Structure 1
Amino acid sequence: MEIEHLTWIGFIFLTGNSAMAIYRSKDDFYNISFVIVAYLSLLLLFWCLRSFERAGRNAPQRPCLKAYVWSLSTLLTCMFSYKVAAIMPWPVDLVVWGLGLSVVIGGFYVFFLYRDGNY
């Protein structure tokens, strides 16, 4: 199966799950907003990643795309950390936020500070 087909299958699966989550939360504006923002953020993230991969090594839009990818990844990490931490006891809550913070800081380091010649 080609990668293009797998991409469309993943997109359809994500869209279907998002639609089901919105339907199940039809009376809860906060949950609907969360699902919509997460869905749109994921779509933007995938689009930015694809654009980043297709851009040439010295393309002028490449640094901007890196910033978009990191920002969207940070947004999604914070959103999901908040949702998970809300249902956990406080010691696990601290672990969840600590792991989320380490992912955000590690992503910033890899995208913007680390230089090995590949990015």
Structure 2
Amino acid sequence: MTDWSDPRMPSAETTSPRQIKRLSRNFAGVGVGIPPERLQEITVGGAAPTYDEMVDVTFALTATALISEKRRSKVGRAQRHCVRGFILLVTILIAINVLLCLGLMLFVLTQHTTPY
């Protein structure tokens, strides 16, 4: 079971007003417009949320978690791509170094031979 398949509203003890505002902005990004004040009321438990509000909150939590997971996987792919490129670059540099060393060795060996 992934994080986004079982969404849970953050508890009142673990959320600050700044986190609630960010959560409201994230919800607005997926099409659920709930003001931060109402989210604070829902997390504290002061006013009981309606069924429609709970459906919206559940959808928004699931959608934001899914978007976050996609973003993390995209960053992971980019990091793997950069590591592969770096390994390829190092391999090419090592191969060029070996070829230059072999060329220098052959050049030095041909200088010490006698012409007859």
Question: TM-score, length-normalised on structure 2?
Answer: 0.29
Structure with bigger RCO (C-alpha 8 Å, 6+ apart): 2
What TM-score do you get using the length of structure 1 for normalisation? 0.29
| Larger gyration radius, structure 1 or structure 2 | 2
Q: Which has the higher helix share?
A: 1
